[in-house]
Structure 1
């Protein structure tokens, strides 16, 4: 299996971890600009409705959904749900 570099999510180095700060260190105006995501967010689907999986997808499939902007994982989920309905 080959490694795929994701420019939107590069692997952190020791230096990255050393200079990182918690989100609470950001100014309130910055924190307010980013809604909560993941299990802490309010969604129609709850965390109990989801199962974390590791799934190998073709690069062109991932790029297709990523090109549509943030929320690409949810769009893949919606596409799969529509397929099984």
Structure 2
């Protein structure tokens, strides 16, 4: 599933950005409240997604069938193949 992305910045926000860029003095950061609280349940890299590259890859039919029948319900078989390749690379790093 592809997520929709908006590349346009609303005009009022773009005007603010332009005004800050043109300003000679730095923006006031003393008005920003300090982030306090319990960070013990924070997860690093939760929103990180590596850049994917579309390729054509020829795999044996029995491998594809296995991944199609054994992938978790919450992910596709191609994601399972990608994860298996990542695990292989991690185990065989020199």
Normalised by the size of structure 1, how large is the TM-score?
0.46
Larger-gyration structure (1/2): 2
Normalised by the size of structure 2, how large is the TM-score?
0.42
From the two aligned structures, give the one with the greater helix fraction.
1
